[in-house]
């Protein structure tokens, strides 16, 4: 099986060998001085290594960004057609609009997923900073947006006071109109704060469900609310391994959620991936090139395209996991992104697609 994995990645790499890697360094020690110049000069699918502090741009060309240790000082707008990846960096804000993006080890103020935007985020931190007349959650997902978060932290804003008589409540860590899946995440709202005249000013819910179409899946998460229920609004939630305090309008269902995990790695490294479900459950893992927009199917959202390759299949162990390790060949192009997805076949019947796992080769 390991031999097949290596061959599969070699085939993926071969199809992407024309891509290039460029350095964006405002000090002049790279290929481009700014992201704007890089977008003009680079080719679709190329990777930009960002150094130092640079302004953000509206990214309309599909370019992968590697920004470990770098700072993007103004908001980055991702409007590019097709999937792209962002790894590392401290961002003043990120908006993903009608695009598909993978975020890995990113720190950002105010992530926005708008239109038909799709995001997969791993080991990221999202927060809200105080701004006069601007009170927004750390993460907001529009009605048609979809996002998957693994090991992420959300921090809403604490209450703010305009003078004495105008208190503003704190914000949620996540405001969802569409669909969000969270695993091993820490979601905090703004916390209750004192007011000189009116007494305590409420913080906010950990997660605000903004509309009956809003839905979240929570697996092994910690929610901390600052004066509201942990879940608030009029949508629905599926929960595993956590007790939820919810407002009357929220429908909460306890369930066993299938999931998939994965990590970023370097050429020559290894990627450990696994389906995380219930014990003794038949499951499969497949892979496809790039970040694909999800397709709604009767078994759930499917992230794989026609390029998919089977990786492994079998029954989950006593811990509910089906795990495998894949070698990342040394010839893989930097910036390569591969989407993995599992499908589980519960003994109770039916078929369920898991949340995706994303490999981004740094």
CATH number for the domain harbouring residue 297 = 2.60.40.2470
SS (H, E, C) 30-97: CCECCHHHHHHHCCCCCEEEECCEECCCEECCCCEEECCCCEECCCEEECCCCEEEEECCEECCEEEE
- Both 152 and 88 in a single domain? yes
- Both 191 and 247 in a single domain? yes
What is the domain range of residue 87? Answer: 17-254
Residue 11 included in any domain: no
How does pLDDT run along the chain (362 residues), one tens digit per residue?
334 444 455 545 444 445 788 999 999 999 999 999 999 999 998 889 999 999 999 999 999 999 999 999 999 999 998 888 899 999 999 999 999 999 999 999 999 999 999 999 999 999 987 655 456 899 999 999 999 999 999 998 877 765 555 567 778 899 999 999 999 999 998 877 766 666 667 778 899 999 899 999 999 999 998 878 899 999 999 999 888 889 989 999 998 889 988 777 778 888 888 899 889 999 999 998 877 778 888 888 888 777 888 899 999 999 999 998 888 887 777 777 888 999 999 887 789 899 988 888 87
Residue 69 included in any domain: yes
- Both 29 and 167 in a single domain? yes
- Both 224 and 284 in a single domain? no
Residue 1 included in any domain: no
Alpha carbons 360 and 362: distance in angstroms, whole number: 6
- Both 230 and 326 in a single domain? no
> Any idea which residue has 């091993």 for tokens?
184
């Amino acid at each position: 099986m390991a031999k097949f994995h290596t061959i599969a990645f070699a085939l993926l790499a071969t199809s992407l060998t024309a891509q290039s890697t460029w350095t964006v360094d405002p000090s002049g020690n790279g290929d481009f001085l700014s992201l704007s110049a890089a977008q003009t000069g680079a080719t679709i699918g190329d990777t930009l290594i960002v150094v130092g502090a640079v302004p953000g741009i509206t990214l309309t060309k599909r370019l992968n960004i590697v920004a470990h240790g770098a700072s993007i000082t103004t908001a980055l707008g991702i409007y590019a057609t097709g999937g792209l990846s962002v790894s590392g960096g401290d961002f003043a804000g990120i908006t993903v609009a009608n695009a598909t993006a993978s975020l890995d080890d990113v720190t950002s103020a105010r992530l926005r997923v708008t239109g038909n935007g799709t995001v997969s985020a791993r080991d990221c931190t999202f927060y809200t900073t105080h701004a006069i007349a601007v009170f927004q959650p750390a993460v907001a997902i529009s009605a048609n947006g979809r996002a998957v978060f693994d090991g992420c932290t959300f921090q809403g804003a604490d209450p703010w006071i305009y003078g004495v008589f105008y208190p503003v409540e704190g914000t949620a860590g996540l405001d969802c109109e569409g669909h969000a899946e969270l695993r091993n995440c820490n979601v905090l709202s703004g916390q209750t704060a004192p007011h000189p005249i009116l007494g305590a000013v409420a913080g906010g819910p950990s997660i605000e469900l903004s509309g009956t179409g809003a839905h979240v899946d929570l697996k092994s998460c910690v929610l901390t609310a600052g004066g509201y229920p942990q879940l608030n609004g009029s949508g629905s939630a599926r929960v595993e391994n956590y007790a939820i305090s919810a407002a009357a309008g929220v429908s909460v269902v306890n369930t066993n959620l299938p999931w998939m995990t994965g990590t970023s790695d370097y050429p020559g490294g290894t990627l450990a991936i696994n389906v995380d479900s219930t014990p003794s459950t038949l499951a499969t893992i497949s892979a496809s090139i790039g970040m694909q927009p999800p397709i709604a199917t009767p078994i759930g959202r499917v992230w794989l395209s026609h390029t998919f390759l089977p990786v492994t299949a079998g029954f989950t162990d006593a811990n509910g996991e089906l795990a495998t390790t894949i070698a990342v060949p040394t010839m893989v192009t930097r910036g390569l992104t591969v989407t993995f997805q599992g499908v589980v076949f519960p003994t109770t019947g039916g078929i369920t697609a898991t949340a995706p796992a994303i490999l981004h080769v740094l």
